[in-house]
Amino acid sequence: MGELNEKELTALVSLLDDQDPEVKDHVREKIISLGNDIIPFLEKKWEDSFDPVIQKEIEDLVHELQFSLLKSRLHTWRQDSEQDLLEGLWIINTFQYPELEFETLNASMHQIYFDVWTSFDNRLTPYEQVRTINSVLFHELKFAANTKNFHSPGNSMLSIVLDSKRGNPISLCSVYLLVAKKLGLPIYGVNLPNLFVLTYKTPESTFYINAFNKGLIFTRQDIVNYLEHLKFEPKEEYFEPCENVEIIRRSLRNLKLSFEKIGELAKSEEIQELLDILV
């Protein structure tokens, strides 16, 4: 915890409710400069304190430290040539659940993959492969569209989606995509206006999958009709696979909108900071 001992840290925390704004700002800066290692100490001080002002200050400091770590992780992820989808989704997840370990999420996803894999046969045709995944994800495991709470921030948190088996188009597509990738299938995300879908794409066979509608299979012409209905010009990007960074961007945009809808504007502004990292 930096160069300060516990006694000095305790004295520092006790100054968080100082009436002098300059003293308070200096104390905050000093604590922030100590980095994330100080979080357990701050949490202990929060538990020991009966002063709501100091408790609130500690909460803000812990959030600031955790948010700073999240931004740093997202910067690193953005620079990484791999841009692993699960890692990107985990980073978003830590916005609401900063204690969540990547390994915990990875283990949950591996269990879902294992459930699909035990029913899977590589000799199946592409359509049969997709129907097998659909059968396990949407009938056995009962993943489904969260139509009741469409704008809940939980729909953008993979850990919540895996626990509740409910999600929005992009989170359900992400679960599907992570399983398909582990199975070695040529399935990719497709960024449509107002909807996120998947494509099974090889030189011999291309079709589309709507994970928000239990894995419904549809065609390029269905996308053309959908775009006409919405009065959108049919750009090529609406038919082609998108990069993982696009999936993470869209997940963050959904999360930003969710916080706006429920009136949590400070959180919405923080999500915008994350989006700015992915420009």
Same domain, 17 and 109: no
Per-residue exposure over 62-95, b if at least 16 CB sit within 10 Å of its own CB, e if not: beebbbebbbebbeebeeeeebebbbbbbbbbbb
**Stronger pLDDT, 45 or 17, i.e. the higher one:** 45
**6-30 average pLDDT score:** 82
Chosen domain end from 31, 50, 79:
79
Per-residue exposure over 218-246, b if at least 16 CB sit within 10 Å of its own CB, e if not: eeeeebeebbeeeeeeeeeebbeebebeb
Same domain, 20 and 158: no
DSSP string, 229-259: HHT----GGGTS---HHHHHHHHHHHHHHHH
Same domain, 51 and 137: no
168 found inside a domain: yes
Beta-carbon contacts of residue 74 (< 8 Å; ≥ 6 apart): 91, 274, 277, 278
Instruction: Report the percentage of the chain scoring pLDDT > 70.
Output: 99
Same domain, 44 and 110: no
Same domain, 90 and 67: no
Same domain, 94 and 122: yes
Nearest to 127, CA basis, from 205, 181, 241: 205
Question: pLDDT by residue (tens digit) across 26-73?
Answer: 888 888 888 888 888 898 888 888 888 888 888 989 999 999 999 999
Question: pLDDT by residue (tens digit) across 223-260?
Answer: 999 999 999 999 999 999 999 999 999 999 999 999 99
Q: 15 lies in which domain range?
A: 6-79
Write down the pTM of the prediction.
0.89
